[in-house]
Structure 1
Amino acid sequence: MAKYDYDLFVIGAGSGGVRAARLAAISGAKVLVAEEHRVGGTCVIRGCVPKKFMVYASEFAHHFETAKGYGWTVEGASFDWPAFIAEKDKEIARLSGIYVRNLQNAGAELVHGRARLVDAHTVEVEGRGSVTADKILIATGGRPWRPSELPGCELAITSEEAFHLPQLPKSIVIAGGGYIALEFAGIFAGLGVDTTLVHRGPNVLRGFDDDVRAHIAEEMERRGIKVLLGTQHTALEKTDTGILNRFTNVHHCESDVVMFALGRVPYTAGLGLENAGVKLADNGAVVVDAYSKTSVDNIWAVGDVTDRINLTPVAIREGQAFAETEFYGRPTTFDHEMVALAVFAQPPIGSVGLSEADARRQYGKVDVYLARFRPMKYAFMHGEEKCLVKLVVDAASQKIVGCHVVGPDAPEIIQMAAIAMKMGVTKAQWDSTCAVHPTLAEELVTLREKYVPQGLGQAA
C-alpha cells in the first residue's frame, strides 16, 4: 500500500506549476494540482498574455499616424473597448482550456480550490479535504502590492482589475515606475486616454541601464504621457466627477481611474507554510536552493513565489528542472545568469546582461558602444521618435556583458542577442557578423566608436 495519496502535490496551476506537474505525471508519477482561481496563472489569465493583446490594440493609433506619412488616408477609425475585452476574454478562456487539457492528457488530476499545508506531507484542499503527498511543489506566483496605509487606497485598481474595466476611462493616473506601470501607461495612452505616470524615484525602471531609463522616459513623453518623477500619492479622494490625486508636491490632479503598479509580492499568505517549517524571506518569498528545494527536504518552490527572476519563461524552466531532477533522475538546475527580458512599453525595450553601472562595479574597466538615431520608418515621415542601441563590453576579455535596445521590435532582437551572449561572444566576433540592411538590428553590429559618458573623460 502506498505511503502517500500522491507522489506530487502542486499548489498553483501557472506556467511553472503546470510544466512541473505535466512532466512528473508523464514519468508515471501520481500528481494532483490545486488551483484556487483559473488554470494558466498570472501570465495567461491576468498578466503577459492579455497585456500583450492590449499592447497590440493600443499600437494601432500610432500606426495610423505613421500611415498618413506614407500617403494613406485613415479616416473614421474608432476603438470599441467592450468588443475588444470580449474577444480578449474568449482567447484567454481558450488558452486556459489548453492548459487544463495538457494536464489531463498527461495524467495529472486537477482540483479547483485553495490549498493549505497542514504539515510537510499533508495538504488541506478546499472542496476536497486532506490529502497526503510524498513531494510538494509551491508555485503560487505573486500578487500586486497595495499601499494599504494610504488614505483612499481602496479607490484605486491594480493591473489585475485593469483587464476588466467596464469602459475605457477618459483619464488615468498610474502610480509606479516599473515595467508594468510603463506598459499600461503606453496601453492607455495609445487608446486615447489622458495618461499620467507618477513615480517617487528620480527615473523609471530601477535596475535597468541608466541610458535606457532616460531614453524611455523621454520617448514616453513624446507620445503624450505625462511623467511625474520624484513624487508620490499622499491620498486619494472621491469627487463628484472622479478621483482626486493628492501628491507630495503641490501638483494635484483629478482622474477617472487610478491604478497602482507598485510592484508585486510573493503569494504565500495563508498557505500554511509555517506548519511545515518552510523558511520565508522578509518579503514573504520562499527561500530555495539552486534545485528549487526549500528548507524542508520534500518541499520545493518555483516561479515568482521565490522572487528570483519573475518571468514566465524562467518559471517554466525552473519547473522543468525540478521535474528532471526529482522524477527522471537527471539532476538539473536552471542558470539564472544572462536571462533576456523585454518591456512592452511604447517604444519597447529589450535587455540582456548587465547595465553599464553594474558592469563597471563587476569588471572595473568596460568599453561602451552607444547610438541614438531615428529609425528609417519614422525618419521618412519626419517623425521625431528615436531608437537606442547600447553594448557594454568587459575591457579585459572583450566579452559583451550587456546589450540594450529601445525601439521597434526590440524584444524580438534581444532574443537573438541573448543566444550569442550566453555563449560568451566577444566584441570582435559580434562585429564579424555581416549586417542585414536596412534594419534597426544592423546598428548593433556596426557600432565601432567607443562611447565616453559625459564627465568621465579618460576614466571611462
Structure 2
Amino acid sequence: MPYDYDLFVIGGGSAGVRCARIAAGHGARVAVAEERFWGGTCVNVGCVPKKIMVNAAEYGAWIEDAAAFGWDVRKGPHHWEKLAAARDAEVQRLSALYRSLLENAGCTVFECRAAFLDPHTLQVGESRVTAERIVIATGGRPTRPDIPGAELGLISDDVFTMHARPRRIAIVGSGYIAVEFAGIYHGLGAEVDLVYRADLPLRGFDHDLRAALRDAYDAQGIRLHPGQQPAALERRGRALVLRTRRGDEIEADCVLFATGRAPNTRGLGLEAAGVACTEEGAVIVDEDHATTRPHIFAIGDVTDKLNLTPMATAAGHALADTLFGNAPRRVSYRNVPTAVFSAPPIATVGMTEADAAAQGPCDIYLTRFAPMRHTISRRPRRTLMKLVVCQRSRKVLGAHMLGEDAPEIMQGIGIAVGMGATKEDFDRTIGIHPTAAEEFVTLRTRVREAGLPEKARAAE
C-alpha cells in the first residue's frame, strides 16, 4: 500500500532530529512530531541550561581565587534573575534552531502528540497518517519517589523555572543530576544537603572517582548524608522537612528529587502497534534498534540502553544511514566517554577498575595532586587521574579523572582508548607542560595490581 511518509519520527529531541535530518538528506519523505519542545530534554531542561548554570557557579570560585594572583576583585551578590534570563534566551535560540534544521532538510513538522493506531498508522493531533517505517524517540522523564509528600518536592525540570535561588536545598540522589546540582547550588551560595542511599555518590563509576568526589564535596561544606533514603516530605511553616528512613530530619527551603528517570512510553499506543517494552516501560530493541515490529525502531533514552545525548544522536544517524543511505552500520556502546559536571568535574572512558579486574589481571596507575592554580589560591581542590591497564595486552582499558577541565581532556583520551592504545603508546606521547593533562602520559609508577588470578588471591 502507498504510505504518506517513508519515515515518521515520534519525538523531536537529539536522537529524533538527527535521524530525521539524515534520512531526509538521503531522499526519504520524513515527518516528525514533537508535543513539548524541539531539542528535547538536553536542549531545554537538561545538558544545555545545566551547563550554563555550572559556568555561573564557577565564576564565584574564580573571583575568590583572583586575589591570590594580584587582582583586587570583590565578590558581590549573585543575581539569579540575570542568569535565568541569559540561560532561557540561549535555550529558546537552540530550540528554534532544532525545528529550523528539520524544515530546512525538507521534513514535515507536527507540533502535537503522535500515537499508534496500528503498526503503520498514527494519530497525529487531529490527523491520521501512515508511514512505512516509524522511529520512537520520545526520551525519558524525571520521576519522584513513592513517599508521602513527594509532590512537595521538585524534579529536575522544575529547576529551570525557579524564580529565585533557595537559601537551603536538600537534594535526594547521587547520580549525574544530583551531584551536578549540588555543585551548582553550592557555588551560587546555597546551603546544600545531599542525601543518598549508597555509601558513595555516582553508582557505577570507578571507586576512586566516587571517593574523590565525596572528599571534594565534604571539603567544600556540602553536607553529605550517605546510607539514607527518603521516607516522607512535609511542610512545617515556611520550610520543608525531609524525613529519612533512619529517622533523621533535614530542613530546607526546597527539596530536589534526582532519584531516577523513566522512559516516555505512556500513551504512545505501543500495544496497538505490537511493540514490546520492559517492566520499567523501556522499548525493547535489538542491535539494530529494531523493536518487536521490524519496521518500527526506537532510539535514545526511551530504550534505556545508555542514556547520553551524544549516544542518542549517534544512534539516530546510524539508523538513518542504515535505512535510507545504503550504508548499514551500528553504533558501539563500548568505550563511550562521559562527563559529570560536578565541582570539580569528572570524566571517564572505558572500564572501571572493578570491571577490568573481573576480566583478568590489570595494573593501576593513579595520581592525586593539587593543580597549579589552587596551589596559589589555596582553595582545597585536588585532582585525581587514573589509568587501568590490562597486564596481558598492555592496552589501556579505562581512564578516569576528577579535576579542572576533566571533560575537555577526556575527549581526546577517549580517541586513544577507543583505538586500543597501550600504556606504552601513552608513555611515548610527549606531554604539554605545564598542564594537568600531561599527567596522563607521564604516569610511570604502578600503584597496585587488580584482578589477580584465583591462586594468587588464595595465597594472599
Q: Does TM, scored on the shorter chain, surpass 0.5?
A: yes
Aligned-partner Cα distance in 2 for 1:86–1:380: 34
Match of 1:420 in 2: 416
Aligned-partner Cα distance in 2 for 1:399–1:247: 45
Match of 2:310 in 1: 313
Match of 1:277 in 2: 274
Instruction: Could you list the structure 1 runs, at least 4 aligned residues long, displaced by more than 6 angstroms after superposition.
Output: none
Secondary structure at 1:253's aligned position in 2?
Answer: strand
Match of 1:78 in 2: 77
Secondary structure at 1:165's aligned position in 2?
Answer: coil
Match of 1:399 in 2: 395
Deviation string for 1:262-312 (max 9, x for gaps)?
Answer: 111111111111111111122211111111111101100111111111111
Q: Which amino acid aligns with 1:334?
A: V
Match of 2:204 among 194, 204, 207: 207
Match of 2:176 in 1: 179
The question of whether the paired residues in 2 share the 8 Å contact of 1:170 and 1:193 is answered with yes
Q: Which moved more, 1:312-321 or 1:59-68?
A: 59-68
What's the offset of the Cα at 1:437? 0.8
Q: Do residues 12 (structure 1) and 11 (structure 2) align?
A: yes
Secondary structure at 2:448's aligned position in 1?
Answer: coil
Q: Do residues 410 (structure 1) and 409 (structure 2) align?
A: no
Secondary structure at 1:429's aligned position in 2?
Answer: helix
Aligned-partner Cα distance in 2 for 1:443–1:164: 41
Q: Do residues 133 (structure 1) and 105 (structure 2) align?
A: no
Aligned-partner Cα distance in 2 for 1:138–1:79: 42
Q: Which amino acid aligns with 2:210?
A: R
Aligned-partner Cα distance in 2 for 1:312–1:134: 27
Q: Which amino acid aligns with 2:130?
A: T
The question of whether the paired residues in 2 share the 8 Å contact of 1:291 and 1:321 is answered with no
The question of whether the paired residues in 1 share the 8 Å contact of 2:64 and 2:75 is answered with no
Aligned-partner Cα distance in 2 for 1:52–1:106: 28
Aligned-partner Cα distance in 2 for 1:41–1:247: 33
Aligned residues: 456
Q: Do residues 434 (structure 1) and 430 (structure 2) align?
A: yes
Match of 1:218 in 2: 215
What's the offset of the Cα at 1:76? 5.0
Match of 2:144 in 1: 146
Q: Which amino acid aligns with 1:131?
A: V
The question of whether the paired residues in 1 share the 8 Å contact of 2:24 and 2:30 is answered with yes
What's the offset of the Cα at 1:239? 1.4
The question of whether the paired residues in 1 share the 8 Å contact of 2:63 and 2:75 is answered with no
Match of 2:121 in 1: 122
What's the offset of the Cα at 1:452? 2.1
What's the offset of the Cα at 1:70? 1.5
Match of 2:162 in 1: 165
Secondary structure at 1:390's aligned position in 2?
Answer: strand
Match of 1:239 in 2: 236
Q: Do residues 376 (structure 1) and 384 (structure 2) align?
A: no
What's the offset of the Cα at 1:248? 1.8
The question of whether the paired residues in 1 share the 8 Å contact of 2:386 and 2:399 is answered with yes
The question of whether the paired residues in 1 share the 8 Å contact of 2:63 and 2:74 is answered with no
Deviation string for 1:153-180 (max 9, x for gaps)?
Answer: 0000111100110111111000001011
Match of 2:335 in 1: 338
* TM-score, normalised relative to structure 1: 0.97
Q: 5+ unaligned residues in a row in structure 1: which ranges?
A: none
Aligned-partner Cα distance in 1 for 2:298–2:129: 19
Aligned-partner Cα distance in 1 for 2:100–2:13: 14
What's the offset of the Cα at 1:68? 1.7
Aligned-partner Cα distance in 2 for 1:22–1:321: 12
Q: 1:453 to 1:400 in 2, by over 3 A?
A: closer
* TM-score, normalised relative to structure 2: 0.97
Q: Which amino acid aligns with 1:217?
A: R
Q: Which moved more, 1:205-214 or 1:275-284?
A: 275-284
Q: Which amino acid aligns with 2:389?
A: V
Match of 1:37 in 2: 36
Q: Which amino acid aligns with 2:427?
A: D
Aligned-partner Cα distance in 2 for 1:405–1:361: 21
Aligned-partner Cα distance in 1 for 2:395–2:355: 15
Match of 2:152 in 1: 155
What's the offset of the Cα at 1:453? 7.3
Q: 5+ unaligned residues in a row in structure 2: which ranges?
A: none
The question of whether the paired residues in 1 share the 8 Å contact of 2:132 and 2:295 is answered with yes
Aligned-partner Cα distance in 2 for 1:453–1:68: 43
Q: 1:355 to 1:113 in 2, by over 3 A?
A: same
What's the offset of the Cα at 1:231? 0.5
What's the offset of the Cα at 1:374? 0.6
Match of 2:227 in 1: 230
The question of whether the paired residues in 2 share the 8 Å contact of 1:367 and 1:392 is answered with yes
